[in-house]
Structures are given as structure tokens and as C-alpha cells.
Structure 1
Amino acid sequence: MNNPDTKRRWTAEEVAYIKANATTVSIRDMAARLGRSELSVQLYMLRHDIARHQQVKRNLLRELIAVKIDTAYFHPTKDFYRAIGINQVRFQQIWQGYRQATNKEMEAVAKHLKFTSEELMKFMFNRQLNLFDNN
């Protein structure tokens, strides 16, 4: 029996299983298959940015942040959430593509990250070009 005080490292096989089945298998079933708790699987997916369902076509907030920061290294802090006025749950819903950010939320993030007018114009221009490329 596993000691609850010992932390098991995630194996490459477990990670591959989660990534391959994140959108098709329930967290309960993944946890049972891996011999881990549901909370453990949920937290792993949250910390490693593995989304259960992608609902928005384009994650504009992620694209906006990617202009300034490599999203692989972006880990928001409590100060970040306070500064932009979005709570952690709402931000994670947006970040993982479950919800689309509002204009006000996008504005708050751009202001916090100190976007220049040129960077915002470039972002908007690229966004418009991508809209035409999808057709």
C-alpha cells in the first residue's frame, strides 16, 4: 500500500497516457487506470496545461501574452491576478480555452504587461490576417 506522505513521480508512460486521453477518458477512469487519485490527475493536468476540452476557436488571451512572454514559461502569480482583476478560476478557464476573454480582460492584461502601442497594433494586425487565412 502506498504511503500518502511519499510523492510518486510521474512516469513518461503516465504522462503520455494522460495527454493521449485527456479529451476522451474521464478523470475518474484515468486515475483508476494509473493508480492515482482523481485530485492528483486533475492537478497534474492543470499544472502542465493539459486541457480537457477546447471550446474556443482561438485563445486570444494566450496569443496576446505570447507576444511578450514565452507561454511555456508563463506562470501567473497572485499579484498578477490582483493586478488584472481576474480571479484564478476565471483566468484558468480562459487560459485553457474553456472561455473567451472579454475585451476588458484583454485590456487589463495588455496594460499589466506594459504593451506598447506598436505591439498592440501588431497583435491586432496579425489577428485580422489570421481571420482571413482560415477561409
Structure 2
Amino acid sequence: MSKTDTKKRWTAKEVEYIKTNATAISIKDMATKLGRSELSVQLYMLRHGIARHQQVKRNLLRELIGVKIDTAYFHPTKDFYRAVNINQVRFQQIWQGYRQATSDEMERVAHHLNFSREELLKFLFNRQLNLFDND
């Protein structure tokens, strides 16, 4: 039996359970409930961008990138990390919502994604308007 034969596919119900309980239940408890290993659950969450602890209220870098690219399909490469001068660990902390991007980091990403002046102004304007929302 090959390795691919022993892999258990994730069902929609399992994925929904993880997304719903990611911040409320420990990985160990989720793994037990799903009948999977802790490592399997942890890796699934990492690969699919499911954060354990959201710390920032708004993920501005994710919003900025979302203006140009559908964030569901955005997978940074080594060239991207080099071009924006953000290492992988720092970028993932920002992307997962554990840290907020600095203005310099936001500027470098915008420059790398070839934002026009109008796109940047529109993004900043919308960001300021949303500060007054009662969400």
C-alpha cells in the first residue's frame, strides 16, 4: 500500500468543524473529536490559513493584497518575500492576524504589486471610512 492510499481526505463537515472551533477548542481536543492526529489538524490549519488566535482587529495587509489578488489564491513565493523584504515567519504572523504590518511593510507590498496612486488612495480612503463603522 502506498502513502497516498493511506491518506484520509478532509470532509466538508470536518473542515467546517475546524473553522468554527479554531479559536475555542485546543488542537488536541479537535484531533480527538475528528479521529485524526494533532499534527494532521495543525498542518491542515497552517496550510489553509486558519488562525488559532486572532489578535488584530483588521488585517490591513490581507485587505491590501485582496485589492489586487483573490486572497484565497495568494501563495507568496521566495521571490515575493525577497522583493518585499519580509521574512516568511514575519509574513505568516501578519497574514494569520497575529501581528499588524508596519506602514513600511504595507508600502513595500503595495509597490511590489504595482498599485497605482489612485488604487492606494482609494484603499486608504476606504480604510479611514471603516474606522467609524460600528462593527
**1:88-103 equivalent positions in 2, closer than 5 A:** 88-103=88-103
Aligned to 1:46: 46
Deviation at 1:55? 0.9
Give structure 1 regions of 4+ aligned residues with deviation exceeding 3 angstroms.
none
Deviation at 1:88? 1.4
Alignment partners' CA distance in 2, 1:130 and 1:88:
29
Deviation at 1:4? 8.8
Aligned to 2:132: 132
Deviation at 1:13? 2.1
Identity %: 80
Gapped runs of 5+ residues in structure 2?
A: none
Alignment partners' CA distance in 2, 1:133 and 1:109:
26
Deviation at 1:84? 0.9
Aligned to 1:13: 13
Indicate how the Cα distance of structure 1 residues 41 and 61 shifts in structure 2: closer, same or farther if over 3 A, else same: same
Amino acid corresponding to residue 66 of structure 1 in structure 2: G
Aligned to 2:76: 76
Please list the CA deviations of residues 33-59 of structure 1 after superposition, one character each: whole Å capped at 9, or x if unmatched: 222222211111122221112111111
Deviation at 1:133? 2.4
Deviation at 1:120? 0.7
| Structure 1 stretch displaced more, 54-63 or 5-14 | 5-14
Length, aligned pairs only: 133
Deviation at 1:15? 1.0
Amino acid corresponding to residue 33 of structure 1 in structure 2: K
Give the TM-score taking structure 1 as reference length: 0.90
RMSD: 1.7
Gapped runs of 5+ residues in structure 1?
A: none
| Structure 1 stretch displaced more, 13-22 or 118-127 | 13-22
Alignment partners' CA distance in 2, 1:11 and 1:4:
21
Amino acid corresponding to residue 52 of structure 1 in structure 2: R
Please list the CA deviations of residues 2-28 of structure 1 after superposition, one character each: whole Å capped at 9, or x if unmatched: x89322111122112211211111112
